[in-house]
Amino acid sequence: MFDKFYIEKLKSNFSEAIRVILANKIRTLLTSLGIIFGVAAVITMLAIGKGAEKEILAQLELIGVNNIVITPIPDEEDNKSDEETDDGANESKRFSKGLDLLDVQSIEKNIPSIKAISPEIILDTYVINNGRQNSVKLIGVDASYFSTMNIQIESGKNFSNPQLINALPVCIIGKKIEKKIFTGESAIGKQIKVKDVWLQVIGVIEEKFISDNAQENLGIRDMNQDIYIPIKTFLVRYKDRKIINDKPIDFSEGIVIIGNQQGPKKRIPRGNYHQIDKMVVQVQNSSELSSTAEILSRMLKRRHNDMIDFEISIPIQLLKQQQKTKQIFNIVLSIIAGISLLIGGIGIMNIMLASVLERTKEIGIIRAIGATQEDVILQFLTESVLVSVGGGIIGIFLGIFASYVLEIATGIETILTLSSILLSFFVATFIGLIFGIAPAKAAANKSPIEAIRHE
């Protein structure tokens, strides 16, 4: 009996609240604008946060765990005039042999914190298929490359020691290469011609999605379109930059000088004299990343005759910096959302206080015919919550729309979740409840007699 009476009272309060809101549509809409924009900002913020979290995890998977990347700096010192150099106005440049496989062996042998090390040599070339040339990147690697870079071999197998040692013409290809060249069939065991060399396909890597943002910020290639061969096969059958040609060379200042002793000498930069294009060093523990990078820097500088012709970066630290930047952005958006919700709550409180003044005589009449203070409080709380919930529902749709527009317009991935929508809804309800208490109490505390006499 009590439950039925209570339900009827709630229905009555709800219908009365609807009547009041519909009687003041424009005022109610303007009152709820703060809630609308606040809820929309909360949903957008959470969608951006989820998208950023997914992107960071995806990029972390692409770069591998606990990796240090070492890349060469080619000699491009071609802006000095001959007079400046010949007169000794600038300090002479030391000679460096560049990054090579001997560096790899030395690092692997002397630094105990290293779990694995993987050198890479990259060549922009082409693959011939049915008389057509398709541009590809040919990558010289060793067997540890795929585990270091967190790449799974979907079919086939990894390079074996005999293939690595004997420079055999074998390759592992990206998934897109298989789809393009061997449409509808497996590439394992088949031959492909890369430049002038026939290679046997022994494996196909698992396809991975790599965003343009990851390729730009972290220098990650679209590995689905790469062809991998043993690094020794690359050096023997394609290109080895350590092999010296028959041109007269003077290494006294780390640059090439062409000409005879009597005639004028022409100075040209050595270009990319490094044997390898990239070296990925994986350490045992993430806590050893910075210290290992420092040891690597000192070791390579000593091996390269005190020349810093290499660059060391820690991708996971770059990712953490990106994550920190996005977190700051989310904090700013959260503050904006909080201010909007606060303003929305104050707006609801103000309009409800105004409503109490307008309906003072009505309050006195319903109190006179038997309504209790609790009934009046419940009535005004119902109105404030409905205004807030209505604004919250509109804000939810606006937030969903804003998330999609933001993703299309800026390329920032946004992920909408049911939990974020429900959170926004409950926040809106809570705001209406909290900021409706003061007006409801003000209405309930009015004396019935004075309220009836109010004009």
Whether residues 325 and 310 fall in one domain: no
Task: Please say if the pLDDT value at position 137 is more than 80.
Answer: yes
Do 340 and 363 fall into the same domain? Answer: yes
pLDDT band for 213, please (50, 70, 90 cuts): low
Rg (CA), the chain: 35
Q: Are residues 42 and 89 in the same domain?
A: no
> Tens of pLDDT along 392-445?
888 899 989 988 898 888 777 788 888 888 888 888 888 888 888 887 777 777
Point out which residues pair with 119 in neighbouring strands. 279
Q: Are 132 and 169 found together in one domain?
A: yes
Tell me what pLDDT residue 139 has.
92
- Say which amino acid occupies 172: I
Domain C-terminal end among 298, 314, 330? 314
My answer on whether 89 and 152 are in the same domain is yes
Rounded CA-CA distance 163/159 in Å is 6
Percentage with pLDDT > 90 across the chain: 8
DSSP 8-state code for residue 98? -
Cα-Cα-Cα-Cα dihedral sign, residues 390, 395, 396, 401: positive
Mean pLDDT for 178-199 is 87
pLDDT computed for residue 316 by the predictor = 72
320 vs 436 pLDDT, higher one:
436
Based on the domain organization, do 245 and 332 belong to the same domain?
Answer: no
Same-domain status, 178 and 302: yes
Per-residue H/E/C for 213-225: HHHHHHCCCCHHH
pLDDT value at residue 230: 93
Identify whether residues 44 and 97 lie together within a single domain: no
Q: What's the mean pLDDT in 329-351?
A: 80
Mean pLDDT confidence for 246-259? 46
Tell me the C-alpha distance between 64 and 62, whole Å: 6
pLDDT at 255 over 80: no
How many distinct structural domains can be found in the chain?
2
Q: In this structure, are residues 263 and 247 in contact, taking their beta carbons and an 8 Å threshold?
A: no
Residue 218 · residue 128 · CB < 8 Å:
no
d(CA 12, CA 271): 84
Regarding whether 239 and 220 lie in a shared domain, the answer is: yes
Same domain, 258 and 352: no
Q: How many whole angstroms separate alpha carbon 375 and alpha carbon 365?
A: 13
Q: Is the Cβ–Cβ distance between 360 and 444 less than 8 Å?
A: no
Look at residue 231 in the predicted model and tell me its pLDDT. 92
Q: For residues 17 and 121, state if they share a domain.
A: no
For residues 30 and 310, the model is more confident at: 310
Q: Are 333 and 40 in contact (CB under 8 A)?
A: no
H/E element, 310: strand 310-313
Q: What is the pLDDT of residue 218?
A: 56
Note whether 153 and 264 are within 8 A (CB). no
CA 10 to chain centre: 49
Domain boundary, last residue among 314, 342, 372: 314
Q: Which two tokens stand for residue 366?
A: 């319903």
Residues near 434 by Cβ (< 8 Å), separated by ≥ 6? 345
- pLDDT interval class at 86 (50, 70, 90): very low
Per-chain mean pLDDT for the chain: 78
Which is nearest to 103 in space by CA: 225, 370, 284, 281?
281
pLDDT of residue 97: 83
Largest CA distance in the chain: 120
What pLDDT shows up at residue 219?
58
Instruction: For residue 174, give its domain range.
Output: 66-314
Structure-block tokens of residue 148: 């270091």
Is the pLDDT at 93 greater than 90, yes or no? no
Q: At what angle do helices 289-303 and 101-110 cross, to 10 degrees?
A: 130
Same domain? 375 vs 405? yes
Mean pLDDT of the region 298-319 = 83
Task: Among 279, 314, 349, give the residue marking a domain's end.
Answer: 314
